[in-house]
Chains A and B, each alone.
Chain A
Amino acid sequence: MKTFGGPALFLDRSDINTDEIIPAKYLTENSKLALKPYILEDLKLPGFDPLADTKEAAVIVTRSNFGCGSSREHAVWVFEVNDINVVIGTSFARIFRQNMFNCGMLAIELSEDDIDALFSLGGNVTISVDIDKETITAKGKREMTCSFVLNSFDKALVQAGGWLAYADKKY
C-alpha cells in the first residue's frame, strides 16, 4: 500500500480538467516518470507556480469536479511520480476518481463545509489520513479532523495496491 499524507497544496477552483493537469502534448511519453516536470503545467491560478508549489506537496485539496475531461491516467500518474497520492475535494469526475483508486491512490470526497474549513486553516497545512478510521487530520495555524466515507471496493483496491493486483487474483 502507498503512503498517504503530508504537506497540502490548495487549488482553489472547481472543474480543474485533465488538460490542465497534464497537457495532451505530453501523452506521447511512454514512461510515467517522464511526466514528472509537467505537473499542472496549464493550470492558471493567481500566484500558482506549478513546479515550485508541487515540490513538497503530498496532498492536493481542491473544490468540485476535479479531473474532468479526458480519460488519461497520465493525470493520476503525474501526481504519483510527484509523490502526491491523495486528492481531496467535494467531488471528482468519474474516470479520474476510478483511475486514482485503480492506481491504489486516494480520491477523498468531503462536504463543502469541510473543504471550506480546510481552505481556511491558514499557514502551511499538513494532512494525515487514517484509512481504517476513515478520517483526515489537518494541521495549519489551526487543526481539524473530519471523517470521510470510503466504499469497501475502493478501499480494497487501495489495500491491494490497485485494480490490476486485485483483478489478477480474483478474475
Chain B
Amino acid sequence: MIEIKNIHKSYHMGSNSLHVLKGINFNVKEGELVSIMGSSGSGKSTLLNILGMLDEADSGEYVLDGFPIQNLNEKIAAKYRNEFLGFIFQSFNLINYKSALDNVALPLYYQGIKRKERIDKARHYLEKVGLGPWSNHLPSELSGGQKQRVAIARALASDPKVLLADEPTGALDTATSYEVMELIQGINDEGKTILVVTHEHDIANMTKRIVNLKDGVIIDDSLVEQVRASQYV
C-alpha cells in the first residue's frame, strides 16, 4: 500500500539546516496497523506529514497504492489527500462552528457529493463511532474523547485507503485513549490500513507493528503481539 525509498528531508532555518529524515525505507501492506515511535525530534511527525502529502520530501521515492507521489501540484495533492487519506490529529482539528455531522461531511463536500447523500454517509459514520445522538452538537459541546471520535468518523467518511493518526491519544486521558484505540483497532479489523504516530508504549503495543525512529533513521521495525484495548475498557 505504501512504499517509500530513501526519503530525505531537512529544514532550513536561516543559515542552519536541520536534517530530520536521513534516508527512510519502509513499506506498509494493506490492512496493517503500524505505529511509528520515537522521542520528540526523531522525525516521526515529519514522516507522517510526508506520507500525508502535507509536506514534501527533499528526495526519495514515495508510492501510494501504485500512484507515485512526487512533485504533485497542490490541486492533485488535494485530490489525492481527499481520496486516499484520512487524517486524525492530536488536537482533533474539528471546525468549531460546524456541527459534528457537518464536520464529518466536509471531506465528502470536497469530493463534490450531493448534500443529501453526504449527510446520510456522515450520519452512518457518526453512528459507527457511537455518536449518533450527538450529530447536531458543536465540537465545543463534546468531550475530548467524543471530539476525537468525530475526527475519526471524518477521516473515515471519504473511505480512504490509509488512515494517518498523529498522536491520536496525545490530548486524552488514559481511559479515553483506550476507548479511541479500541475504535481504531475495530476499524483496522475491518481491513483498513492505519498508521499511528505515538510516543506512548501502551498505545504502540495496541498496534500490530512498531517502527522505531531515532534521529531520522529507522532503528527498529518489528511485528508485535497486539494488545486489545477492549480489555482495559
Answer whether A and B are interacting partners.
no
**Which positions in A face B, CB cutoff 8 Å?**
none
